[in-house]
């Protein structure tokens, strides 16, 4: 007997968020590294600083997105409303 409203444990929700965050971090750091390598080879005579800078930018964007995902109150324009103050449809 399956019910239409299945409950999901909080550890599963946090696990999914963590997995999504980890995947996002890997992608953004990889893109930053790739952009740094291309910029280093084409523009900066194979210097190392463009690679480190763009990898750091990718990691920073990933950390910021993970922070917003785990703590939605930090998203600008988001308001947290208590459940007893939500108007009920009539």
pLDDT tens digits for range 21-53: 999 999 999 999 999 999 999 998 888 999 999
Q: Which residues contact 35 (CB under 8 A, 6 or more apart)?
A: 54
What is the rounded average pLDDT of the residues 9-19?
83
Count of residues in the chain: 90
- The pTM for the full model equals 0.69
Under a CB-based contact definition with an 8 Å cutoff, are residues 69 and 23 in contact? no
């Amino acid at each position: 007997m399956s019910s239409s409203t299945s409950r999901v444990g909080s550890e599963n929700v946090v696990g999914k968020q963590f997995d999504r965050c980890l995947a996002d971090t890997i992608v953004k750091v990889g893109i930053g590294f790739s952009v740094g390598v291309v910029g280093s080879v084409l523009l900066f005579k194979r210097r190392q600083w463009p690679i480190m800078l763009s990898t750091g930018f990718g990691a920073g964007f990933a950390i910021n997105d993970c922070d917003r995902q785990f703590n939605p109150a930090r998203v600008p324009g988001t308001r947290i409303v208590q459940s007893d103050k939500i108007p009920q449809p009539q």
